Amino acid sequence: MCSNYVEGIQFVLYYYYKGVPSWEWYYKFYYAPLCDDIFSMVLSVVQSLTEGEKPIIFNPTQPYPPFK
């Protein structure tokens, strides 16, 4: 849940600064995780990025057609 939430934050930042990163991405849960859980998750993500793991990448997709 926390990793999907962090992806959502990254999605919103990409959306406002670079445009729509993916038309298929969505937040898979109804509620957000607790702040303490998010903080722990962000620390582990930062640590994994410093160890050489790849950052969050969204697959570029096309928008759905308005009519079929």
CB 13 within 8 A of CB 25: no
Cα R_g (the chain), whole angstroms? 14
Q: What tens digit of pLDDT does each residue of 8-63 get?
A: 888 999 999 998 998 988 899 999 888 888 888 777 777 776 666 666 778 888 88
Give the start-end residues of each E strand in the chain.
Answer: none
Q: State the pLDDT at residue 15.
A: 92
Q: State the pLDDT at residue 59.
A: 82
Q: Please give the C-alpha separations between residue 49 and each of 13, 27, 33, 40, 43, in angstroms, as whole numbers.
A: 18, 22, 22, 14, 10
Give domain limits for the chain: 1-25
Q: How many C-beta atoms lie closer than 10 Å to residue 35's C-beta? A: 8
Q: State the pLDDT at residue 16.
A: 94
Predicted TM-score (pTM) of the model is 0.67
